[in-house]
């Protein structure tokens, strides 16, 4: 059963950083990006990462070309759309050259995220256990609980989130910059 509690939420950092390492990147043309999505660098811009792709990081904010939060009343969105209720930006087909809507991405491989898998956590052996790995499905906003395995995959599983047992704790294992951890 799919869940409506989607998105990765930064929980803590293994080396004590309070915000991870945040960088701002222009979103690739025609991409729909939501805060909490896992993304990759793709031909010079940011795009959703699919199953098996290397992860650059997690989207923690959305801004215009002038670095104004998209919820700011003066944010420029000529051709792009933004939905505040879901914190989703839809980049137009000319985003790279016109609006230049940007994603703020936590690229820190030491950040641990809380997320609810695409099916009930623990259904697949290891999907709720420390030391297992899992992938991110095409939507890039939830762990794919049925791919849990002891072999390396995109995300490392830290176990169940003690504050919400429907969610797990994950960090990036196959990082686009720093490789496998």
At residue 179, the pLDDT reads: 75
Task: Identify which has the larger pLDDT, 31 or 145.
Answer: 31
Taking the C-alpha atoms of residue 122 and residue 76, their distance in angstroms, rounded to an integer, is: 43
At residue 3, the pLDDT reads: 47
Asked if residue 153 lies in contact with residue 135, where contact means CB atoms within 8 angstroms, the answer is: yes
Percent of the chain, pLDDT > 90?
A: 82
At residue 178, the pLDDT reads: 84
Q: Which of 110, 140, 115, 103 lies closest to 21 in space, CA to CA?
A: 110
Structure confidence at residue 175 as a pLDDT band (50, 70, 90): very high
Write down the mean pLDDT value for the chain: 93
At residue 4, the pLDDT reads: 56
Can you tell me whether residue 148 is helix, strand or coil? strand
Taking the C-alpha atoms of residue 2 and residue 119, their distance in angstroms, rounded to an integer, is: 5
Q: pLDDT tens for residues 100-126? A: 999 999 999 999 999 999 999 999 999
Q: pLDDT tens for residues 63-96? A: 999 999 999 999 999 999 999 999 999 999 999 9
């Amino acid at each position: 059963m799919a869940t409506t509690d989607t998105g990765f939420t930064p929980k803590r950092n293994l080396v004590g950083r309070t915000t991870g390492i945040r960088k701002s990147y222009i979103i690739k043309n025609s991409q729909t990006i939501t805060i909490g999505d896992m993304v990759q660098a793709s031909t010079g811009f940011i795009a959703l990462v699919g199953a098996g792709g290397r992860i650059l990081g997690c989207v923690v904010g959305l801004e215009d070309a002038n670095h104004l939060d998209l919820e700011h009343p003066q944010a420029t969105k000529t051709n792009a759309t933004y939905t505040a209720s879901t914190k989703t930006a839809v980049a137009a087909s000319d985003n790279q050259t016109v609006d230049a809507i940007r994603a703020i991405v936590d690229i820190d491989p030491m950040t641990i995220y809380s997320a609810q898998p695409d099916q009930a956590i623990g259904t697949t052996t290891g999907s709720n256990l420390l030391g297992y790995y899992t992938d991110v499905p095409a939507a890039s906003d939830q762990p794919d609980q049925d791919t849990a395995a002891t072999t390396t995959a995109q995300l490392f599983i830290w176990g169940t989130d003690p504050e919400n047992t429907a969610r797990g704790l994950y960090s990036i294992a196959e990082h686009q910059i720093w490789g496998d951890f």
